[in-house]
Amino acid sequence: MVRIPPRVIGPAGGLTVTVLVAGGFALGLRLDNLHNGLLAVAFTAVGLYVVRQRPDNREAWLFVATGIAQAAMFAARQYGLHTPALPAASWIGWLGVWPLPLVFVLIAVTLMSFPTGRLPAPSWRVVVVMLAVLGVALALMSALWPVEYERVPLAAPHPLDLPGADTAAAVHRVAMAIGYPAFQLAWVVCAIARLVRAEGDESRQLRWFVLAMAMTGVVMGVGLIGWGTPRPGLLAVPLVPVAAGAAVLRYRLYDVDPIIRATLVWGAMAAVVTLGYAVVVVAVGNLIGGSGTLLELLATALVAVVFGPLRGRAQRVADRVVYGRRASPYELLSRLSAQLTGPSSGLLDGLCATVADGTGARQVVLWTGPPDGLRAVSAWPAGCPPEVRTLDELAPGEPSLGGRSGGRPALGGCAVPVTYAGRTIGALAVTTGTRRSWTSQERGLLADLAAQAGLVLELRASAQRLVAAGDEARRRLERDLHDGAQQRLVTVAMELGALARSAAGAAASAERVAEGAAISAGRVEGAAVFAERAEAARQQLLQATAELRETARGLHPAVLTQDGLQAALGYLADRSALPVRLRVDVDRRLAPAVEATAYFVVSEGLTNAAKHARAQVTTVTAELTEQGLALEVGDDGVGGARPQPGSGLEGLTDRLAALDARLLVDSGPAGTRLRTVIPCG
Amino acid sequence: MLADDAILFREGLARILTDMGFDVIGQYGDGDALVRAARADPPDVAVLDLRMPPGFADEGIEAARAIRAATPAVGLMLLSQYVEIHHALRLATEFDGGVGYLLKDRVSDLHVLGAELRRVAGGGTVIDPDLVVRLVARRREDDPLGRLTDRERAVLALMARGHSNTAIASDLFLSVKTVEAHVTSIFVKLDLTPGDRDHRRVLAVLRFLRA
């Protein structure tokens, strides 16, 4: 069989349809046949346009075929409907009537195959076969007997005059009552089934399609109820192929969700307002036996009062229907910037929650570190996976984002690298249900959020670097003092001690000598005074070294670096001006920044309790939990602690924020409690 | 035998100890060198800085342990810029006497230093007074030390520093019998089990003060 190339079939089909439809319209405008012409044009035009863009799109060819069939039927009907009857009107008009069930079947199959050109599942073939059998039976009856002629006012009678017309009409009536709704029902059910199971881009395409269906349905309903005629509905049917074409080609350009949302909101509002109005005017009118302007005014006022709140509610319901739990990209970005400018604690958790909100994900994990050693720093819902992963493991086949093209990732998720200044500094991993894949819009959103995450991670890293650099500087200063000034002062004190001792010795021996010889009492006294002053100088020097030691300790406690938190907190408790109930349950060394921060939190808490709180006793607990190092410093004082600008508490808040921890200050008449949990991996 | 990474201090200490009649037989810059030397030629006392290279953490204690394991008779005197209770407890727990822990400042008080070195060499225990003062002065809820008389508190502080009853008696100008009576009273009031040796007593008292 010779295969005709698409570039021949396309124009040939287009030309055929043009001739048929133009010819049909040349015979006059018939309202009862208009929709067939519009459908023919719509199907063919959309089909050919899509074919031009995507020659391999099967669905487009089905459209073209449907369009041609429609055009042929339309032209034949136009011919048959023309009055006075044209030559051979009997046979040509006949051609415009009996293929109707077959065209219906073709339309049903075309729509069932949308948008891929294939049935959603092989099992649907059974339905197609049943439809075809029904269609052929109906067409056959219609071809042999004038069973459809009652509904179509053709100028010429049925060309055949076979016996059994009455029986055929009776059978046909039953078959039509089953067949015609079945044709429509089949593709509607099919489309809904497809929409429910659709994911990603396909779901987005189907939304266009369903929107057109819904609108047509509304127009049809309004027409039937309002004017008792299906004609407006039939005329709206060409919307369906147009929407289908837009869905195939343009679904990325126009987001149809807001339109669906608006349709839902305003449809619901219209229904509510009408109903409310009817209830007030009719029901209340009947009840109190009144009517007229007063009731209408009352109804209008009532509707006006409930309109606003109702609209808000309808909007939320519509949001939920259309977006699910997902917020719009704009909402998300503004929420994220609120997170960024608000109190900085819990920034990363907020980021993960925002991503989860925006994508309807089951789990969101933010990883940081170099691409070959990523660690989870934050997760939604809470609970970071402990393992170290590489970027390749998280996002195989980057940068396809684990979409449909690169085969479905095992977890049904995707990960985007988080970069800052061209460096990969982490990854944002999102896990959804097992079947879900990603729409282009969601991917774009994820990329935007990852860019924001890059900024946040960098901010956090720089804050951590600042804290670490500050700690390191203090530690070095302490070392310098310890190894330099302190050693030197102690050595000098030792020398002074030696001097004082020898001077005292000299004075004593001189005294002994003076008893027997003529040594002046002045020399003896001089040596004694020297010894005394040397001893006084030594004492002062020791005082100075003691002060220097305290200064060095305040800078950075050596005991913390050497022996860890338990020993350092013990030291703080020993030195506290108030009794301390200390409970430390930390059985391992933590990161230097965590230990130093914990130390300063307790130090500040104890100092405040002693200075300002007029407390009797303080409580310090430190324990390792799953979330990190949990610290609590409490007292039974008068309260009033607040992290004011420039206060020690504010400094602690900033310091903790750099470690993704939040300082909770709970201060009242019952005392003050500082609490924090420092994540420490 | 001395070990300290601060040369100036070490040299000064060596000179003063020599002046005081001690025989300084070696000076070293870190713990490992001291341990080797002490093994080869055990001194009566080794004086070590607690914080030494390479880690500037607790190398002094590690070196002291090594010396104690090899040559148990050597007295060990640890010097430090800070005195920490957990170090004191560790020394009291891991070493059965013959060990001292003093603030470096203390060495300028020459006759005290001399006496403490001799006590350590003789198997006694020496804890820096600063640390003990801190522990005794520590604020406690319903302070058990409040049950002690002033005199008893003074005796307790000297016990914590490692003084024997005889030493306490001479320090406080009391008779040994009176001191023994105070000690018994303290142990009863604080519900402590008296150790059979001075060293055990130090550990018990330090633990009590820390609790």
> Which residue type, as a one-letter code, is found at position A475?
R
| A554, A567, A584, A605, A623 from A599: Cα distances, Å | 11, 10, 12, 10, 13
Contact A364, A430 (CB under 8 A): yes
- pLDDT per position as a tens digit, A575-613: 888 888 999 999 889 988 899 999 999 999 998 888 887
Distance, in angstroms, between A595 CA and closest chain B CA? 16
Q: Is 60 exceeded by the pLDDT of residue A421?
A: yes
Distance, in angstroms, between A629 CA and closest chain B CA? 22
- In this predicted structure, what is the pLDDT of residue A2? 55
- Say which residue, A225 or A290, is predicted with more confidence: A225
Task: Indicate the average pLDDT of chain B.
Answer: 87
Q: Is 90 exceeded by the pLDDT of residue B51?
A: no
Q: Testing the interface with B: which of A483, A494, A620 to mutate, by most B Cβ within 10 A?
A: A494
Q: Is 90 exceeded by the pLDDT of residue A212?
A: no
Strand A618-624 relative to strand A580-585, pairing: parallel
Distance, in angstroms, between A552 CA and closest chain B CA? 10
Q: Which residues of B touch A498 (CB under 8 A)?
A: 15-16, 19, 110
Contact state of B135 with A579 under an 8 Å Cβ cutoff: no
Cα separation, A376 vs A660, in Å, equals 13
Q: Percentage of residues in chain A with pLDDT exceeding 90? A: 11
- In this predicted structure, what is the pLDDT of residue B126? 92
Cα separation, A95 vs A67, in Å, equals 16
- In this predicted structure, what is the pLDDT of residue A434? 45
Q: Which residues of B touch A617 (CB under 8 A)?
A: 141
Q: Which residues of B touch A570 (CB under 8 A)?
A: 85-86, 210
ipTM: 0.84
Contact state of B13 with A482 under an 8 Å Cβ cutoff: no
- In this predicted structure, what is the pLDDT of residue A435? 47
| A372, A380, B127, B185 from B152: Cα distances, Å | 65, 61, 18, 8
Encoded tokens for A450: 């990852």
Q: Which residue of A has its CA nearest to B53?
A: A483
Contact B99, B46 (CB under 8 A): no
Measure the CA angle with vertex A411, ends A410 and A414; round to 5°. 105
Q: Which residues of B touch A559 (CB under 8 A)?
A: 82, 84, 86
Partner residue facing B12 (CB), from A495, A545, A577: A495
- In this predicted structure, what is the pLDDT of residue A305? 76
Contact state of B51 with A538 under an 8 Å Cβ cutoff: no
Contact A241, A217 (CB under 8 A): no
Q: Percentage of residues in chain A with pLDDT exceeding 70? A: 81
Residue in the block written with tokens 């921890």: A661
- In this predicted structure, what is the pLDDT of residue A267? 65
- Say which residue, A310 or B162, is predicted with more confidence: B162
Q: Which residue of A has its CA nearest to B112?
A: A497
> Which residue type, as a one-letter code, is found at position A565?
L
- pLDDT per position as a tens digit, A317-330: 666 555 554 556 66
- The answer to whether A546 faces chain B, any CB pair under 8 Å, is yes
Q: Is 90 exceeded by the pLDDT of residue B45?
A: yes
Contact state of B82 with A542 under an 8 Å Cβ cutoff: no
Lowest-pLDDT range of A243-247, A289-293, A617-621: A289-293
Q: Which residues pair with A427 in a beta bridge?
A: A367, A417
Contact state of A494 with B16 under an 8 Å Cβ cutoff: yes
Q: Which residue of A has its CA nearest to B85?
A: A571
Partner residue facing B139 (CB), from A486, A566, A577: A577
Partner residue facing A542 (CB), from B8, B51, B108: B108
- pLDDT per position as a tens digit, A491-536: 899 889 888 888 888 878 877 776 666 556 666 778 888 888 989 9
Cα separation, A519 vs A235, in Å, equals 138
- In this predicted structure, what is the pLDDT of residue A221? 72
Contact state of A498 with B19 under an 8 Å Cβ cutoff: yes
Cα separation, A512 vs A575, in Å, equals 48
Contact state of A570 with B104 under an 8 Å Cβ cutoff: no
Partner residue facing A483 (CB), from B6, B19, B86: B6
Q: Is 60 exceeded by the pLDDT of residue A345?
A: no
Contact A33, A81 (CB under 8 A): yes
For chain B, how big is the Rg over CA atoms in Å? Answer: 17
**Helix then strand then coil, % of chain A, to nearest 5:** 65, 10, 25
Is A483 strand, coil or helix?
helix
Contact A283, A299 (CB under 8 A): no
Contact A431, A410 (CB under 8 A): no
Task: Indicate the average pLDDT of chain A.
Answer: 80
Q: Which residue of A has its CA nearest to B17?
A: A498
pTM for this prediction? 0.58
Q: Which residues of B touch A497 (CB under 8 A)?
A: 16, 107-110
- pLDDT per position as a tens digit, A25-82: 888 888 788 888 888 888 888 888 888 877 777 888 888 999 999 999 999 988 888 8
Lowest-pLDDT range of A186-190, A299-303, B87-91: A299-303
Partner residue facing B13 (CB), from A494, A549, A562: A494
Cα separation, A636 vs A445, in Å, equals 50
**Residues A177-186: contacts with CB within 8 Å, 24+ apart?**
A178/A134, A179/A101, A179/A104, A179/A134, A179/A135, A179/A137, A179/A138, A180/A101, A180/A104, A182/A131, A182/A134, A183/A101, A183/A104, A183/A105, A183/A107, A183/A108, A183/A131, A183/A134, A183/A135, A184/A108, A186/A108, A186/A112, A186/A127, A186/A131
Partner residue facing B86 (CB), from A491, A541, A570: A570
- In this predicted structure, what is the pLDDT of residue A438? 64
Q: Is 50 exceeded by the pLDDT of residue A354?
A: yes
- Say which residue, A473 or B211, is predicted with more confidence: A473
- pLDDT per position as a tens digit, A388-415: 778 777 766 444 443 333 333 444 567 8
